Amino acid sequence: MRPSDLLSVAETYGAPVYVYDSAKITSQFERLTRAFSSVPSLKLNYAVKALSNLSVLRLMNSLGSGLDTVSIQEVKLGLMAGFKPEDIIFTPNGVSLEEIEEAAALGVKINIDNLSFLEQFGSAHPDIPVCIRINPHVMAGGNNNISVGHIDSKFGISIHQIPHILRIVELTKMKVNGIHMHTGSDILDIDVFLYASEILFDTAKHFKGLDFIDFGSGFKVPYKEGDIETNIEELGQKLSTRFNEFCKSYGRELTLAFEPGKFLVSEAGYFLAKVNVVKQTTSTVFAGVDSGFNHLIRPMFYGSSHEIINISNPEGKERFYSVVGYICETDTFGNNRRIPEISEGDILCFKNAGAYCFTMASNYNSRYRPAEVLWHEGKAILIRKREDFDDLIRNQIDVDDLFKAPSRKPAVK
């Protein structure tokens, strides 16, 4: 999207606002599909947690995507957006058995990641096939919060517990239709991915009735020009070859599944916020925006570095700014960034704001969550209204008859 398009969205819908470019989502979906075109059966299950707006889910459905979900609510959103149950996989961690059973009753694919539930679910529902999430014990991912396949991680069933899994399967007579792993987000080195895939192939050999192998996700996207990214084309070529070989030795064609979040939506998203104040201190020039980590928590949560541009003055002379939010705690979007000269009232644009941005937004400091706009075929379409005061108090129960304000005596002079 051009800065002028983004500015026109801010003028029409106000700021702060999230904007998603449908053309970028589509081209990323097509790029990933192309990279694995030599695999006869490929299934991309978009990870809903990255960005769960219904209109974005409808776009994914129109592209032929499936969905990866982690809560019963995400399953329901997917169904509401028109996905067929069989195109949704439920991959929760730490949820109750009742929630898994509720998802199974809706007909979606089930992915189980602990031995206790595998045994209980298999005993109660031996006819409902399940996928098993393996922990390959591989350290991968951009930082500790998003590395989830290592030995100390709470995710998946250890590869060292395969004999135990096999005993449960044999005793319960349950069916295993898939094997899954997800080692983390922001994986730079495709060799790490390929190494973990070999572990998955070794595991898959133990299960005779598989329909698919799910390699999770974790593709690293660039955050600025020249940034490192996962070489999808190279990964596609190498993993497809190995996958096709594996299927031959396995004896039948399986589906290769992925569940990308960031890869599909990160670069398609822009977050626009208005500059409230430019404040010069002895050492720093702060640009304080009409937003904070309540709207975009990733920089404060795990140090993500979102590129920030000034779309009100894109050609201006660059100066150094620290861009901060209005929350009364450290609330820094970026330190000492070179940005075209900023004036109060300018609109700043935070890039890579499609994944894990709106979905992590909160009402902290009793602020409204922003609007969301889809940029589609040259038009801005509002896909979520900005919240208002009614939204803030919607579920509160005001016990106004419980507490009385003391009657105040007039002050004596």
Ligand X SMILES: Cc1ncc(COP(=O)(O)O)c(C=O)c1O
By the criterion CB under 6 A, which residues form the site for ligand X? 47, 50, 68, 91, 182, 185, 216-219, 259-263, 355
Q: Return the structure tokens found at 85.
A: 């149950």
**Which residue numbers are catalytic?**
328
Helix ranges (H only) for 112-266 are 115-124, 162-172, 190-204, 232-250, 262-265
Task: Write the DSSP symbol of residue 356.
Answer: S
Q: Which is nearer to ligand X, 145 or 335 (CB)?
A: 145
Residue 302 annotated in ligand binding: yes
**CB contact burial 344-367 (16+ within 10 A = b; e otherwise):** eebbbbbbbbbbbbbebbeeeeeb
Q: Which is nearer to ligand X, 220 or 367 (CB)?
A: 220
Output the smallest distance, CB 67 to ligand X, in A. 11
Residue 167 annotated in ligand binding: no
Residue nearest ligand X by beta-carbon distance: 261
Output the smallest distance, CB 264 to ligand X, in A. 8
Distance CA 30, CA 215 (A): 18
Distance CA 175, CA 211 (A): 11
Q: Return the structure tokens found at 89.
A: 């996989």
**CB contact burial 235-272 (16+ within 10 A = b; e otherwise):** bbebbbeebeebbeebeeebbbbbbbbbbbbbbbbbbb
Q: Which is nearer to ligand X, 136 or 292 (CB)?
A: 136
Residue 356 annotated in ligand binding: yes
Residue 46 annotated in ligand binding: no
Q: Which is nearer to ligand X, 176 or 289 (CB)?
A: 176
Output the smallest distance, CB 214 to ligand X, in A. 9
Output the smallest distance, CB 309 to ligand X, in A. 23
Output the smallest distance, CB 77 to ligand X, in A. 16
Distances (CA, A) of 387 to 15, 361, 396: 12, 12, 15
Q: What is the DSSP string of 308-341?
A: EEETTSTTSPEEEEEEE-SSSS--EEEEEEEEE-
Residue 20 annotated in ligand binding: no
Helix (H/G/I), strand (E/B), else coil: 112: strand
Q: Which is nearer to ligand X, 94 or 406 (CB)?
A: 94
Q: Binding site for pyridoxal 5'-phosphate: what residues are annotated?
A: 218, 356
